[in-house]
Amino acid sequence: MLPVADARWRVLNVPLTDACLRRAVRGWRALISIPVADEIYVGNAGVDAPEERGWLLGRFMPEGDPRHSTDVEIKWGTHPPGDTRAEWVRGEHRTALLVLISGRFRMEFPGRDVVLSKQGDYVVWGRGVDHSWYAEEASVVMTVRWPSIPGYKVESAS
């Protein structure tokens, strides 16, 4: 059973089927991001990401939440044109992968810039690689980095 809310925001228990979920998302005000059991979390990156500055999974999620991990972090980044990182990351202790979902996004590294322009373009950089970024167009990117460790919190410059 999936709890969803009808137009008056009453919580209803309805069988979880693909058709039911599509109808809930299209026609009802659905509770999109909800824990299902204790080991499964169903969500939407566009809805959940702003709550943690874009991060969907990592050590900063509450313990016991399926999204809590000290092994990996995953971020859904939505960037307006001209958005830039407030300051360079220096002395990085993680490996990272950034995949372009849409737009045009530039990753900046010492002595080299990489422009991601086609959906699915990606770049991987390792430990110790300083970096920054700039959204040349409105862009959506997904970042995966590992391991998940404290630090590097920088507020957006935009």
Instruction: Read off the tokens for 101.
Output: 């979902």
Assigned domain for 7 exists = no
Q: Which residue in 17, 14, 56, 6 sits closest to 33, CA to CA?
A: 56
Q: Does an H or E element contain 112, and which?
A: strand 112-116
Give residue for tokens 């970024």. 133
The pLDDT tens digits of the residues spanning 28-71 come to: 444 455 555 568 899 999 999 988 889 999 998 988 899 999 99
pLDDT in tens, 118-139: 999 999 999 999 999 999 999 9
Does residue 128 lie in a domain region? Answer: yes
* Residue 76 belongs to domain with CATH number: 2.60.120.10
Collapse the DSSP code of 23 into the 3-class scheme (helix H, G, I; strand E, B; otherwise coil) and give the result: helix
Find the helix or strand (DSSP H, E) in which 73 lies: strand 73-79
